[in-house]
């Protein structure tokens, strides 16, 4: 994933829910120094964080309709973001959930796995 992120020319966009989860996971598994380095990347604009007026409602609607897959609100926010941006490209290591998700009946392209 790291290698792909460093070589990806397209702008990488996520939600504030993912940012919170990244911080939490890195704090627990990699420590404060690693978490701070990643947060510095966010501060420096390496990734765009997008939250639009209907984002919470859109995410909760995805959660309600796809809960049977065992997804949480963070994954639901990424599906809602993809719909908001009009893309089917999702950067994730969570193939278990995202292989079953999609937009308008079309599967996501999971990056970097589907390259």
CATH number of the domain residue 66 falls in: 3.40.50.1010
Residue range 82-111: mean pLDDT, rounded: 96
Confidence of residue 58 (pLDDT cuts 50, 70, 90): very high
CA–CA separation, 54 and 64 (whole Å) = 15
- Tokens describing residue 108: 């996501």
Q: What is the structure's pLDDT at 15?
A: 98
* Segments forming the whole domain that contains residue 99: 2-111
CA–CA separation, 48 and 61 (whole Å) = 23
Give the total number of structural domains in the chain.
Answer: 1
Q: What is the structure's pLDDT at 3?
A: 92
Confidence of residue 84 (pLDDT cuts 50, 70, 90): very high
The count of residues in the chain is 115
Q: What is the structure's pLDDT at 54?
A: 98
CA–CA separation, 50 and 21 (whole Å) = 15
CA–CA separation, 84 and 69 (whole Å) = 21
Q: What is the structure's pLDDT at 2?
A: 85
Q: What is the structure's pLDDT at 14?
A: 97
Reply yes or no: is the peptide bond before residue 112 cis, omega within 30 of 0.
yes
């Amino acid at each position: 994933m790291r290698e792909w992120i460093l070589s990806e020319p397209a702008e990488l966009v996520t939600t504030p829910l993912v940012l919170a989860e990244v911080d939490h996971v890195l704090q627990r598994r990699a420590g404060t120094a690693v978490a701070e380095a990643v947060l510095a990347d966010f501060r420096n604009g390496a990734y765009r964080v997008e939250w639009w007026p209907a984002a919470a409602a859109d995410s909760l609607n995805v959660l309600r309709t796809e809960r049977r897959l065992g997804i949480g609100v963070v994954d639901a926010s990424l599906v809602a973001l993809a719909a908001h941006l009009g893309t089917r490209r999702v950067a994730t290591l969570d193939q278990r959930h995202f292989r079953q998700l999609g937009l308008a009946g079309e599967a996501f392209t999971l990056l970097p796995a589907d390259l």
